[in-house]
Amino acid sequence: MQRIGPSRAIARPVSGTRLFSSRASRGQHWIHPRFRGLPPPVIVIGMHRSGTSLVAGMLGALGVYVGPECGGASGPDFLAMARAGRLTGYAEASAFFRINEQLLRLSRSSWCRVDPFLRRRTHPAWAQAADLSLRSQTYSSLLRDFLQPLPEHYRGAWGWKDPRNSVTLPLWLRLFPEARVVHVTRDSDAVVRSLHHRARQWQSESVHQDSRMKLYPVDALKTTARKLGLLAPLRPDPCLDPSYCRELCRVYEQECALAPEAGVAYLRVRYEEILDDPKEAAFRLAHFTGCSVEAQNIREAGTLVLRER
């Protein structure tokens, strides 16, 4: 019988392997000097549809550089771009997104089928190869596509959001052991409804094709190839099954719950609390990331909250 959802047991490290390496064996050696010259990054984790895009927009408004897609680390155009990112439901730094996608695909996984990746992640040889690959990316794609818009002297807060960080975090912490981790949570029933609704939307070919072409050009090209019979048909989206969505949510949240084991700075924020008190949530984020807590910054971050009931 084919399994319709993620396994109940999360893959654990094999004997002699630790999911989070000790700080003594990690560090920023062999990564590009520009990354070594920056403060530790802010890494946003959390289940898909849990509010990570909103938090990324708020961080950007507070002064955290979250990628060129949302403009510079400061400037009059940021709020408009951050709102646009929130409204499209993404606000992801494409450079980090592509690397996370690559890590999953190397183990024949995807964001909604993470079991093979979780098993492969614990193998020492695979983890070492992935570590070397990520370090090399700081000299190529991450340097070119993420840091290039920043001035050479920039030393401010920076980071990125991608729900896939929830499962790839142990690998990123090998590069950035002092990172600050922001874990966004949301009521699981609401997440399941949102995931299922989006899957049904994506099933309709008339919905979001333009935006998906821009955000996922490779997937869009593969879709066209399948229509022409050049590639085998894609497996049905498992998130069309609400029970699968619920189990996937559980897997992601269990992975996120492992983050404090790494010994890094960790902040958990609830989506519902952000909606209830945007200014308080903005203050917590600013304090945690070392950003200014001036009233204007807090107010601007709060304006990104959309009260969609």
pLDDT value, residue 207: 46
40-59 tens-digit pLDDT = 999 999 999 999 999 999 99
The encoded tokens of residue 171 equal 């690998």
**196 vs 14 pLDDT, higher one:** 196
What are the boundaries of each domain within the chain?
42-302
Give the helix, strand, coil percentages of the chain, each rounded to 5: 55, 10, 40
- What's the CATH fold of domain 42-302? Rossmann fold (3.40.50)
CA 84 to chain centre: 18
What is the pLDDT of the chain when averaged over all its residues?
83
The encoded tokens of residue 206 equal 């008339």
pLDDT at 190 over 90: yes
pLDDT value, residue 29: 67
Specify the pTM.
0.83
